[in-house]
Amino acid sequence: MTRLLMTADAVGGVWSYAVDLAAGLRAHAVETILAVLGPAPDEDQRAMIPDGVEMVATGLPLDWLARGAASVLAAGDAVAALADARGVDIVQLNSPALAASGAFTKPVVAVAHGCVATWWRAARGGAIDAGLAWHADLTRQGLLAAERVVAPTRAFAADVAATYALPEQPAAVHNGRRGSSGIGTFVANHAFTAGRLWDPVKGTPLLDNVAGRIDAPFRAAGPVIAPHGETVTTRHLDLLGKLSGMAIGAELASRPIYVSAARFEPFGLAVLEAAQAGCPLVLSDIASFRELWDGAATFVDPDDEDGFAAAVSALLADPQRHDREGRAAAQRALRYTPERVAAEMAALYADVLGNRTARAA
């Protein structure tokens, strides 16, 4: 049995990724301890933790919400100490900057789900703000300190390698989600989106304008206020607030048109969940979405409000096309399963541990 300590947070999609991976790893004789940084998971999120998986709410700060390098380095030290105390064999850091502390005695696999520097370029344009340069420095140190680096798409792996001048490109392991047991024949006559609506890279203002131009409701699930206080104001979207996983599933079960105007998305678990439910996809034409959904989605330039409104309106006007494209998305989604993620990550852990043993010998 391999013992793994994996970091997670309850703020975004990393939580779903972590609990699904922990569940899948049991089939590969990997026992997981989840070390949660940032806000503690809520009741619905706790209910997602698989049997046999221990969760430790560390109370440590999230790197992307920290005010400076010192607290992130201290958090890395604390996670390293936890790994030693629990006697794990390997550590997976879903926040690579934690490895910059240099305190880890166990081999580290760093998974880059996103980062401030690449996000900043998409959200604000240009080089990262000087006040956040420390975070980019820590992230590069952490990526270089890890024995293996993973990204959820080849597109984001290339972005990370270029941004941080890495000696080699991270391995790409596509994310996965446990999908619904089947899709229905009914197709809802409305549009839907989900995610961190406050996040500038999600294109919420554009989607709000689209909502005002289509002849159907446009429902949106997710917070409009960020943990650090950033907000977005809307006029036309039907805001549903932050929904539980079960409530999101209920929204998707009616197979609405799923829309994402994100200009930055390393993977996009919400898109995968929509595809699994048989929703037709209208997505921004960015490299990661093309990699995952080319041939199974309608693509629109992320700045093209007219294009999004036209694409959604065309699907609303043609229920047969709506059904056909939703089924195409569901078929593509079969590639992205948590079982596949777990198998690829377990093989990667075994390779890292084997290499360390060989070096020690």
163-167: long-range contacts at Cβ-Cβ below 8 A with a sequence spacing of 24 or more? 163/115, 163/117, 163/118, 163/121, 163/136, 164/117, 164/136, 164/139, 164/140, 165/140
All structural domains of the chain: 2-177+337-355 (3.40.50.2000), 191-333 (3.40.50.2000)
What is the pLDDT confidence band of residue 181, given thresholds at 50, 70 and 90? low
| Lookup result for tokens 């203002």 | 205
Q: What is the pLDDT of residue 100?
A: 97
Length of the chain: 361
Q: Is the pLDDT of residue 361 over 70?
A: no
Angle subtended at Cα 292 by Cα 274 and Cα 263, rounded to the nearest 5 degrees: 80
CA distances from 9 to 58, 73, 188 (A): 10, 17, 33
CA triplet 235, 239, 240: central angle to 5 degrees? 170
- Model pLDDT for residues 111-120, shown as the tens digit of each residue: 999 988 888 8
Q: pLDDT digits over 296-347, tens only?
A: 999 999 999 999 999 999 999 999 999 999 999 999 999 999 999 999 999 9
Is residue 349 packed enough to be buried (19+ CB in 10 Å), middle (13-18) or exposed (0-12)? Answer: buried
For the chain, report the end-to-end CA distance as a whole number of angstroms.
Answer: 21
Query: Do 63 and 98 contact (CB within 8 A), yes or no?
Result: yes
Residue type, 57: A
User: What is the model's pLDDT at position 66?
Assistant: 84
